Amino acid sequence: MTIRIGIGGWTYEPWRGTFYPEKWPQKRELDYAAGHVTAIEINGTYYGRQKPATFAAWAKAVPDGFVFSLKASRYCTNRKVLAEAGESIAKFTGQGIVELGDRLGPILWQFMATKTFDADDFAAFLKLLPDRQDGVALRHAVQVRHESFAVPEFVAMCRDAGVAIVFAQSAEYPVIADITGDFVYARLEDAEERFVAGYAPTALDDWAGKAKIWAAGGRPQGLPYVEDATPPNQPRETFMFFINGAKVRAPQAAMALIARITA
């Protein structure tokens, strides 16, 4: 089973002295973070383009087996007509992300909470997502945050496209737990600062159990599914990111979950 657990980004001032040691050089924060978690979701790619050399430097800074996921550009997803996103998608995937090499994980396509489900338009968007870039295979996950997406038609089109629906545990948005890709992408967004690791120990025990079920190819019970169908029982690389909520607790949450997975 392959389970990767991490955080969103690595540059966050409140982590200095709480996660990063006092006086740790800021230019080496990625090195430190990559030594304590097994994946990082890069959010900077959502806001602007990066240089190929930047992706190459990030890849060089992390150990073998470490993986980055990339949040796709907002210009691809924050638009009225998704079917017209082709040029923006091509610019995003062609900016040099392949310089990450084997550190390149899934691409996260996140949509505004106000974006409603238009079946024809969303199906057209999925067709625009490339399978490869410069010979490198790409994997895609979509995070939708409006209740109109919680319908069988949306789940079916993602499954047909081989695109994963992001499981986002949040108090603010509806959750879709259906498994539609050959990997699982979960974002845990409801941490509380009152807990040292963002979640109660029993909650982390439960997430560790769910992670193992996902990775083994199963379907955890007690989650909100649109369909009753059980996905093919095959191992799935599983990504879990602690992000948003009490962000200051995210590194401790990730490390606590890693400890449970590897125990």
Quickly tell me which residue has 């967004």 as its tokens.
189
Residues 208, 210: Cα–Cα separation, whole Å: 5
For residue 187, give the nearest of 147, 238, 234 by alpha carbon.
238
Residues 139, 45: Cα–Cα separation, whole Å: 16
The CATH classification number of 3-262 equals 3.20.20.410
Residues in the chain: 263
pTM comes to 0.97
pLDDT tens track for 230-262: 888 899 999 999 998 899 999 999 999 999 999
Q: Looking at this protein, which amino acid is placed at residue 50?
A: Q
Contact between residue 209 and residue 186 where contact means Cβ atoms under 8 Å apart? no
Tokens linked to 254: 């990730």
pLDDT of residue 97: 98
pLDDT of residue 1: 66
pLDDT of residue 263: 87
Quickly tell me which residue has 């979509």 as its tokens.
142
- For 231, residues 6+ apart whose C-beta sits below 8 A from its C-beta are 178, 179, 180, 217, 219
What residue spans define the domains of the chain?
3-262
pLDDT of residue 53: 98
pLDDT of residue 219: 95
Backbone φ and ψ of 171, nearest 5°: -85, -5
The secondary structure of the chain as a DSSP string is --EEEEEE-S--GGGBTTTBPTT--GGGHHHHHHTT-SEEEE-HHHHS---HHHHHHHHHHS-TT-EEEEEPPHHHHSSS-GGG-HHHHHHHHTSSGGGGGGGEEEEEEE--TTPPP-HHHHHHHHHHS-SEETTEE--EEEE--SGGG-SHHHHHHHHHHTPEEPEEE-SSS-------SSEEEEEE----TTSTTSS-HHHHHHHHHHHHHHHHT---TTS--S--PPPP----EEEEEE-SSSGGGHHHHHHHHHHHHH-
Tokens linked to 227: 């369909």
CA 220 to chain centre: 18
pLDDT of residue 188: 97
Quickly tell me which residue has 């030594």 as its tokens.
35
pLDDT tens digits for the chain (263 residues)?
Answer: 699 999 999 999 999 999 999 999 999 999 999 999 999 999 999 999 999 999 999 999 999 999 999 999 999 999 999 999 999 999 999 999 999 999 999 999 999 999 999 999 999 999 999 999 999 999 999 999 999 999 999 999 999 999 999 999 988 888 999 999 999 999 999 999 999 999 999 999 999 999 999 999 999 999 999 999 888 889 999 999 999 889 999 999 999 999 999 98
